[in-house]
Amino acid sequence: MSRAAVPAAPALAEAAMRAAARLPAHLEGHGYDVDGLPELREAIAARYRARGLPTEADDVMVTVGAQHAIGLLASVLVHRGDRALVEQPSYPHAIQALRDAGARLVGAGVGAGGWDEDVLEQTIRRTRPALAYLMPDFHNPTGRTMPEDQRARIVALAEAHGVTVIADETTAELAIDRATAHPPLAVHGSPGAVVLVGSVGKTVWGGLRVGWIRAGRPLLRDLARARSARDLGTPVLEQLVVAEVLGGMDGILAERGARLRETRDHVEAELARRFPGWEVPHVDGGLAVWVGIGAPVSTELALAARSRGLAITGGSRFGHDGAFERFLRIPITATPAATDRALDILEDAWRGIAPEGGRPDVGRAHDVVDRSVLV
């Protein structure tokens, strides 16, 4: 349960075979292209247009997954010592990519009420970050989605202070209950104010390492120059596979939504039944639920679960300063049977740190957390 990920979409195997059949047409070329295959960039642009954002193929760069895109953007947009604003909590690997680029991180909370605009504004005014990394749709790990009117205000705030917004849309199309989706965040603000990151890793399969960046063309040129010293492009065969997949993406997303509805309902019901003292929010999309466990012991609970054979991620993994010990991220992607087996172990681990059936020993839990941070 440490990975919020789905198995490969059933349509992927046939898409891969069609792509392999088309590969010979590309073999006479050199195969190096840091921008990506024109046909894939056009297919990605077409999906943005369908979502209400005018986009051309030249506005897109294909990357080796979304994580590669985030790291590449950080290397270009951040100079060592610059501040970067991240949500609290946030995606751990994005946090690490920004740190690796030399950024000093500042946080703005995403809580039960969503994004706190007052805190965002104060943080931006006080710290003047070079960029803000946001996940406005089915936020990882909280599952929250930013309202449309708030999106416009936050983009305007960032643009007014010269802050480039990176919007991570890797989960944006994973709706479960919602009939209509928000348009991409880049519909707000002037061209180039918002950079979009997408991929097929969360929607199609994590093993299909293809993502993309939609950005202003001057930034894309800077990214291409920086990329040539790191890698020489995304594998051609995988790009062909994704071009095939995008043609049937609506069907894949419908299948994903139906499956996630079943698994989400089961996870939420079982958590409420087994852990009546926990706070289990309802999520209408995404791949996980952000559970409040009532005491600052998520690291200890995760360690106890791991000792029993269950890998699960404590809340502090999602904070850039070791916060969120009162939370646990529970994926909603496993089958009901697999979920039940995992929750059996989690129940046993919870009883192990709360042996009387009550609340855990918070003092002992803090000792565990402090040692893990110091190490």
Please report the domains of the chain, with CATH numbers, ordered by start residue.
12-248 (3.40.640.10), 251-354 (3.90.1150.10)
Q: In what order do the strands lie in the sheet with 60-63?
A: 60-63, 211-214, 194-199, 164-168, 131-134, 83-88, 104-111, 114-115
Q: Which of 44-53, 72-81, 105-114, 354-363 has the lowest mean pLDDT?
A: 354-363
Could you give the CA distance from residue 359 to residue 156 in angstroms, rounded to a whole number?
Answer: 45
How confident is the model at residue 308, as a pLDDT?
Answer: 98
State what percent of residues in the chain have pLDDT above 90: 89
How confident is the model at residue 375, as a pLDDT?
Answer: 21
Could you give the CA distance from residue 150 to residue 105 in angstroms, rounded to a whole number?
Answer: 23
pLDDT higher than 50, residue 211: yes
How confident is the model at residue 226, as a pLDDT?
Answer: 96
CB pairs under 8 A, 24+ apart, for 275-284? Answer: 275/347, 275/350, 277/359, 281/112, 281/142, 281/143, 283/138, 283/143, 283/176, 283/332, 284/143, 284/145, 284/175, 284/176, 284/177, 284/178
pLDDT higher than 70, residue 372: no
Angle at 8 between CA 6 and CA 13, to 5 degrees: 175
pLDDT higher than 90, residue 148: yes
The band of 356, judged by pLDDT with boundaries at 50, 70 and 90, is low
Q: What is the mean pLDDT of residues 211-239?
A: 96
The band of 354, judged by pLDDT with boundaries at 50, 70 and 90, is confident
Q: Cis (ω within 30 of 0) for the bond into 331?
A: no
pLDDT higher than 50, residue 366: no
How confident is the model at residue 358, as a pLDDT?
Answer: 56
DSSP string, 148-204: HHHHHHHHHHHHHTTPEEEEE-TTTT-BSS-SSPPPPGGGSSSTTSEEEEEESTTTT
Q: Which helix (H) or strand (E) holds 337?
A: helix 336-353
Q: What is the pLDDT of residues 300-316, one digit of tens each?
A: 999 999 999 999 999 99
